[in-house]
Chains A and B, each alone.
Chain A
Amino acid sequence: MDVQPVAELALTVSDRALLAGDRGEGVRLAMAIVVKMAKVQGAAGLLDITAAHIDSALFMGDATLDFAERLADHGATVVVPTTLNVSGVEEQRWREWAVPADWANKAQRQMRAYEKMGCRPTWTCAPYQTEARPAFGQQIAWGESSAIVFANSVLGARTERYPDLLDICAAITGRVPAIGLHLDEHRRGQDLVVLRDVPATLQASDVFYPVLGHRIGQLVEDRVPVIEGLAHHPSEDQLKALGAAMASSGAVALFHIAGVTPEAPTREAAFGGGAPGRVFEIDLSNVRDARDDLASGVSDTLHMVVLGSPHFSLDEFRQLSSLVQERTRHPNVRFLVTTSRAVAAIAREAGLLDPLQAFGGELMVDTCILTSPVLPDSIRSLMTNSAKFAYYTPGLLNRSMAFGSLSDCVASAEAGRVVRDETLWQP
């Protein structure tokens, strides 16, 4: 992260036309921001993108609403296929939660502004599960840290870490600074992470991946890790959980696993022929420490289990529906799953929501507990299987969060207190 000298930014005739306001004030504003950021980043030029995923539609306050309406009211529209990340309210059912009406109204105004600009109302942090699955090598501009790391690492698409506010400017102009993970030379591995003596049964279990990601994010921060020593070929949901955790505790936007992810057929290929900068070893005791670090202020009482950050997939609904068969949640523990409209519809069609309902579970679409003020004050103590929920809940919601596997979460909801199967974590 050394300070770079500011390079001369080359703009095309068409770039200059947008900057001059030829497509209206909204597009001019978007292009002015893209160009200023390209200069800040020392880019030599801009490049074309062919898809975008927008986190900016999430209502954070009057400033994000001002920005959305300024763009939309001045005629800006997106020029590439564009999906929308989670919103600030569950559009159809926010009244069933503790969401203040003023918040909901403003959040919905912000949602409308992005729809008016031509974005698709997908309202999910995991668009790659249904609506948008970019191709290998495709240049895209994605927001949402967990989606960025998935697109880069698992799909081999190419996106920088687009912050809120810049992602929509990229979609409106179709142009981004030609820097970072858009370019070959920045996609190579930088640090090596080696697993040592982590039991194969733990590696095969879903609960391992958010914990491993939490630890790797702390170690490598914003660098590109190459992971070696996995005895198990991770599923797509496991890779989703791994990346989301790394992008919470660190700023990881791309990881490689030798023999698993598409840009890492071998360890040598992942490093592009170069040597690792730093080498980290992770053993069972590191993994247990990381698991314990994910929990915060856990008490004996449990008020809610929350699943689905990133949004629950169809496979996760399948696993959950078999786990909850013939069981019922404790009357004092609510059980919430957050997902997208699209996955919810497919899961309903597949009959996977009936067992959840019979268990006493609830479903939320469009948003989650972190992005919409849904929780009543009475809910103080939560449990999850998501590293991202575990990482952000204490700061954002000022509530405690226990961490466990999906099966621990179901057992805890049934028991009315946090219970955890420790056998997986033994040597």
Chain B
Amino acid sequence: MAAVIVGAVVVGGQAEGRTLVTHEALSFWGGYDAADGTIIDHRHPLHGERAADRVLVLPGSRGSSTTSAVLLEALRNHTAPAAIVTLGVDTFIALSVVVAQEMYGEGIPVLAVDRDVFASIPNDVTVVVRSNGRITLADRGRKGNTPNRME
């Protein structure tokens, strides 16, 4: 990952957290437990991982139209990811955060990136997401010890 990458701001906001990266789309209905923020789709590579408070990097959602309702529940329960980065704009994910902002006055940043940037984001590194769409490696809490060489 380059020192700074830039995504298109779908929903603005700031966050910090460890990345959780998957290259498979996820239906949040039947895939995300809004009670504790765990991935519960048995067919998904992230099955069993806790996504709450992580920077979730995924191609997008799929399947059921209930995905937006599940993510809204997670946002209300504070079991949602800290930020979500998708490959291109994902309407279902954006909608949940737009509604959470209207309903509860709070949300999480949602960014859209292109294929090259998507492929460059490593799993399990701590990053800072800023409201202008910039994602940088955090100064602390990082796995590994040579941050400037994490290209």
Q: Which residues of B contact A63 (CB under 8 A)?
A: 69, 72-73, 75-77, 100, 103
Contact of A248 among B7, B10, B64 (CB under 8 A): B64
* 8 A Cβ contacts from B4-30 to A: 7-8, 10-11, 25, 27, 29-30
* 8 A Cβ contacts from B44-75 to A: 59-70, 72-73, 75
Asked if B114 is at the interface of the complex by the 8 Å CB criterion, the answer is yes
Asked if A296 is at the interface of the complex by the 8 Å CB criterion, the answer is yes
Q: Which of B88-96, B124-132, B137-145 is found at the contact surface with chain A?
A: B88-96
Chain B residue at minimal CB-CB distance from A70: B103
Q: How far is the CA of A279 from the CA of B109 in the complex (A)?
A: 37
Chain B at the A interface: SS class: mixed
Asked if B40 is at the interface of the complex by the 8 Å CB criterion, the answer is yes
- How far does the Cβ of B72 sit from chain A's closest Cβ, in whole Å? 5
| Cβ B41 vs Cβ A61 within 8 A | no
Contact of B62 among A2, A36, A64, A222 (CB under 8 A): A222
A-B pair count, CB < 8 Å, reads 137
Q: Which of A94-102, A183-191, A316-324, A388-396 is found at the contact surface with chain B?
A: A388-396
| Cβ B87 vs Cβ A145 within 8 A | no
Asked if B34 is at the interface of the complex by the 8 Å CB criterion, the answer is yes
Q: Which of A162-170, A258-266, A330-338 is found at the contact surface with chain B?
A: A162-170
Q: How far is the CA of A2 from the CA of B112 in the complex (A)?
A: 9
| Cβ B69 vs Cβ A58 within 8 A | yes
Q: Which residues of A contact B112 (CB under 8 A)?
A: 3
| Cβ A165 vs Cβ B88 within 8 A | no
Q: Which residues of B contact A36 (CB under 8 A)?
A: 98
* 8 A Cβ contacts from B96-141 to A: 96, 98-100, 102-103, 112-114
Q: How far is the CA of A148 from the CA of B92 in the complex (A)?
A: 15
| Cβ A395 vs Cβ B68 within 8 A | no
- How far does the Cβ of A55 sit from chain B's closest Cβ, in whole Å? 5
Q: Which residues of A contact B103 (CB under 8 A)?
A: 63, 66-67, 70
| Subset of 10 A-B contacts with CB under 8 Å | A3-B114, A29-B102, A41-B91, A60-B72, A63-B69, A63-B72, A66-B103, A222-B60, A250-B62, A391-B30
**A interface, CB within 8 angstroms of B:** 1-4, 29, 32-33, 36-37, 40-42, 55-56, 58, 60-64, 66-67, 70, 143-145, 148, 161-167, 221-222, 247-251, 296, 370, 391-392, 394-396, 398
**B interface, CB within 8 angstroms of A:** 7-8, 10-11, 25, 27, 29-31, 34, 40-43, 59-70, 72-73, 75-77, 87-89, 91-92, 94-96, 98-100, 102-103, 112-114
